[in-house]
Amino acid sequence: MLRYADRLWQQTTPLLASTTASLAAIVVGVLAAVAFLPPVRRQVLRFLIAPVAPLNLAILRIAVFGVLLVLLNNQPLREFAAESSTSLLPVSVGLVDVLMPVALAATAFTLIGALSRTAACISSVLSVYLLGIPQWAGDVDCIIQPAVLVALMLSTTRIGDALSVDALYQAVRQADRGQVRQAKRHVCYGMPIRLSMLVFALTYFFAGAWQLAAHSEGIQLSTEFESVAAMAAIAMALTAPVALLWRPSRLTWSFAGVVFHNVAAQLGNVAAYPLQVMYVMSIDWQRFLGRLGQRVFGRRILVLYDGNCKLCRRTMAMLLVLDWLRALKPVNAFDRHRLETNGLGHLNDAALMTDMHAAERSDDDTCRITRGYDAYQRIAWRVPLLWLTLPFIYLPPIAAVGNRIYRRVADTRACAVPLASDVSTTQLSRRSLGLVKVAAAVILVAQIASGVGGLANAWPVACRPLFESLGAPVDAESRTARSSKVPDGSPPSWPYVYTPI
């Protein structure tokens, strides 16, 4: 331990000391501004507690765990495990062979949203271990670290409330208790996304800060274009934490990031898809899809269902889970006030109790009403997942069979008055927020510590530039030396500062 500490002290340079001191001052200054300047504090709080639709969090879940699934499949983990000599954790080919199928299955379950939180916990923890095997061997890749950190954070949140099997199951359970409604925007979906943005932004910020410090030492690039690209990349990285606070600047910064990574991939042959996929968190997908649905279909279609029928409630609840375009509006046929309000008071009560109705109001205020199987056909046009059925449900043989099946089910269903709900959504939301706050605090503190200290060969947090190909020395020999791995058994170099080799 003393020998390692002595090595760290010997590697301390004026550049390291000044950069570390500057970064520490910036962190303290930002924390002081948030604590003592009300305008800054209000903007930060507004950013963190903004309500967001569950669909946005679900898309981030699919993006992050999709990246983990690809990484687990593509990384040569068995080869690194066979050559590993780390004493941090037990590593062997046999252990990798046992854990890999579990990690892949858990990640796949998370993608489809089956047992989402349990599967996400297993997937994220095993990903830290399995993907860490190459990192401990010295093949440090900071491009994959944000995905792993965000996955750990998402495993503590309600990531299965949309685009998932769990969402359908929960919708059925709530329908049995008489709750048929679309999930609304809530801070329990927004805060995990915003905290993930902070993790993402700090990854860029500290990498850019150390890259800037290295350029102050006079690193020369091969072309003027590479010099301009490197400085633009540094500027993008340093502005990340501020740019994410406002939606317009967030979208602009995300667009610039996608362009940058594609340019860097052409210049340095660096695959940055684990980072590029993460930019989905910058887009309000529910707002976008809702406006798209309004532009394509116009007014929402009113779906009138029997609120005292368990099967009707379940059907309506599952349709609302799949209503990503916000094109459906449920109306309980027993609610005469809502019927009158929507201009449907003329409909016969007996007919409403017998069949599901779909009411479409056009721009000229004319109303087209369909019932039974025909109503389901109209609903299918508004639900993206049901578009696959459109080429078939209008075919005469299938339509005839569908009508007969619908008629038999509708005529034999029984009345089931819903029971009062005994579960508080507010309590569940608070519990979820508590877990994600703890997870985010641990991750952010670790990021700040590694970023200020310039720790480059750490896992799963490190401060290694994400765009080394734009800041590498000119000659090929130096490029090879800079990308070499840490020898097995030797302590990782600290800190990783860009100095000419």
- 369-405 pLDDT, tens digit each: 888 888 888 999 999 999 988 888 888 888 888 888 8
Residue-wise burial string across 156-179, b where 16 or more C-beta atoms lie within 10 A, e elsewhere:
bbbbbbbbbebbebbbbebbbebb
Higher pLDDT, 268 or 129: 129
pTM here?
Answer: 0.83
Two tokens, residue 18: 């000044």
Q: What is the rounded average pLDDT for all residues in the chain? A: 79
pLDDT band of 76, cuts 50, 70, 90 = confident
pLDDT of residue 412: 76
Cα(439)–Cα(31) distance, integer angstroms: 19
Q: Which pLDDT score, from 0 to 100, does residue 119 have?
A: 95
For the ranges 9-18, 30-39, 79-88, 344-353, which has the lowest average pLDDT?
9-18
Nearest-angstrom CA–CA distance, 120 and 486? 31
Task: Give CA torsion, residues 483, 485, 491, 495, to 10 deg.
Answer: 10
Instruction: Tell me what the mean pLDDT of segment 54-81 comes to.
Output: 91
Give the rounded distance of the alpha carbon of 126 from its chain centre: 19
Residue 485 has what pLDDT? Answer: 40
d(CA 81, CA 138): 12
Question: Is the pLDDT assigned to residue 270 strictly greater than 70?
Answer: no
Q: Confidence class of residue 121 from pLDDT cuts 50, 70 and 90?
A: very high
323 pLDDT band, cuts 50/70/90, is very high
Nearest alpha-carbon partner for 189 in 429, 426, 428: 429
For the ranges 14-18, 47-51, 466-470, the lowest mean pLDDT is seen at 466-470
Neighbouring residues of 120: CB distance < 8 A, sequence distance ≥ 6:
61, 65, 106, 110, 151, 154, 155, 159
DSSP state of 238: H
Predicted pLDDT of residue 28:
78
Q: Is 424 a residue whose pLDDT tops 50?
A: no
Task: Name the token pair of 227.
Answer: 């010099």
Pull the structure tokens for residue 361: 């109001």
- In the chain, the percentage of residues whose pLDDT exceeds 90 is 24
**Residues in Cβ contact with 140 at an 8 Å cutoff, skipping those fewer than 6 apart:** 456, 457, 458, 459, 462, 464, 486, 492
pLDDT band of residue 481 (cuts 50, 70, 90) is very low
